[in-house]
Structure 1
Amino acid sequence: MPAKIITVFNQKGGSGKTTTACNLAGALGTRGRKTLLVDLDEQSTATLSVGAASDDRPFPAALTNLAQSPRPDREIAKFVNDYDFIVIDCPPAIRSSAPSVALLISDLGLIPVGASGGNLWAVQEAKKLALNAQINNPDLKLRSFANMDQKVTIVQQIFEAAGQDEDIPMLKTRLGFRTAYKEAEVSGATVLQVKGAKAAHKEVNSLVDEILKVLGE
């Protein structure tokens, strides 16, 4: 079976794409699924994060950085028979072709919706990109999810508005605005490796469960 490919994308920076991609890839890895994390972002945040992992606690997924590749789709295709899952972290720039290219070879396009008003605009831009990709990749599934959740009225209104989009269903799981995610990022870990972060563990496992269900796994 070729790898299932999941692209994490959003046109806006700060929505939590890298946090999502790293934790998703790491969580799949901890479940015994052979997983590759692909960094397409020129800022290389995922690469720097995974590189911070200690030798005695390696990141539970493999990593490749293809941010400078003119044909990342062709390079990713070389790995599809070697992994169960490939998780792609895309750059936020609206001018970048990386998300479009990645979505053409993906099984799932996942849009993290951050807790700011600008994210509603960004989701609409991401939606245009995704629906266009579906023309050439009709099997592409699309989902969004609420990231950096806070019990603040405006934040809840943003998520409720995004959740009304019938073209891109919103997953039930919400990732909270927690220091555990930052701790994981700077230590080259998935949040599942952060001791005591029970709420974050529950959130990430729930997100992975939902994604696997969408993919029919």
Structure 2
Amino acid sequence: MATNGYRNRIITVANQKGGVGKTTTAINLATALAAIGEKVLIVDLDPQGNASTGLGIGRNNREHSSYDLLMGTHSVSETVQETAVPNLHIIPSTMDLLGFEMEISQATDRVFRLRKALISTQAFEYSYILVDCPPSFNLLTMNAMAAAHSVLVPLQCEFFALEGLSQLLETVKQIRGTVNPQLDIQGIVLTMFDARNNLAQQVVNDVRTHLGEKVYHTLIPRNVRVSEAPSYGKPAILYDLKCAGSQAYLQLASEVIQRERQRLAA
């Protein structure tokens, strides 16, 4: 499926703006992919560790983490943990990531640490690897984009959405021109959509007008059950499969796989 030494599909889930549903999308898309038979790994690169918490991995149960993976002291197999979701594993995050940039600022391979770690036998067994980034552009995000085949962008249906999106697209362009020429936009996922809000529909129309087929057809609605799920250490799809948010993420997973098939057939 992959190129450049990989045997899987690595997707970075990123947005420099916080509060757009980035981690929620990473968790639930990964769960949905696992539910339809794919073997999936999440790499939590956010020092806040919300993806890890949202999948039920408590802070006291993160003996080895993505920090250890990036520092090269532990491998994928030594840092990966099972979740309550069959076929879904995670490399959890710890606050140690806050010091990563300072510790390796002089290293010549500082941007390629994640790429090196994921070109391994242990990583090859996953058909999809989703990397959850911090809500900022720093060395962790650069590592994620340098390692990935594509970037999936959750975009909140709000007034300033397009402004933030243009900044992110420029970042992807810069990474493509410097450290990862194969990096592409996997797609734009519109999140927190409220059909009762005229402005939200206007944002949807504007984004589709500007980016066309890069925007997924699936709209992720504002949904109380999706918001509640992380406090129980569960993805929404496990917490309440029938809620509108869970159904939307299952639909999104189908769209992601369909796009991958189209890409391979091209």
Structure 2 length-normalised TM: 0.72
**Structure 1 position 108 matched with structure 2 position 137:** no
Q: Which amino acid aligns with 2:176?
A: Q
Structural RMSD (CA): 2.4
Residue deviations 1:109-156 (CA, integer Å, cap 9, x gap) = 111111322322211111111222333333634310210100201122
In structure 1, the residue matched to 2:46 is 41
Bigger proportion of residues as helix: 2
In structure 2, the residue matched to 1:142 is 186
Structure with higher Rg: it is 2
- The 1:73–1:138 alpha-carbon spacing in structure 2 relative to 1, beyond 3 Å, is closer
Is contact 1:8–1:109 with CA below 8 Å preserved after alignment? yes
Over the matched positions of the two proteins, sequence identity in percent amounts to 25
Q: Determine helix, strand or coil for the equivalent of 2:90.
A: strand
**Structure 1 position 84 matched with structure 2 position 127:** yes
Residue deviations 1:81-128 (CA, integer Å, cap 9, x gap) = 12111011111113x133333223222211111132232221111111
Aligned residue pairs total 213
Is contact 2:145–2:183 with CA below 8 Å preserved after alignment? no
**Structure 1 position 64 matched with structure 2 position 91:** yes
Q: 2:245 aligns with which of 195, 200, 203?
A: 200
In structure 2, the residue matched to 1:182 is 227
Q: Which amino acid aligns with 2:126?
A: Y
Q: Determine helix, strand or coil for the equivalent of 2:218.
A: strand
Gaps of 5+ in 2: 2-6, 59-82, 105-112
Is contact 2:44–2:93 with CA below 8 Å preserved after alignment? yes
Gaps of 5+ in 1: none
Q: Which amino acid aligns with 1:92?
A: P
Residue deviations 1:19-59 (CA, integer Å, cap 9, x gap) = 00000111112222111111111111111221358xxx813
The CA deviation at 1:3 is: 1.7
In structure 2, the residue matched to 1:8 is 13
Structure 1 length-normalised TM: 0.87
- The 1:65–1:168 alpha-carbon spacing in structure 2 relative to 1, beyond 3 Å, is farther
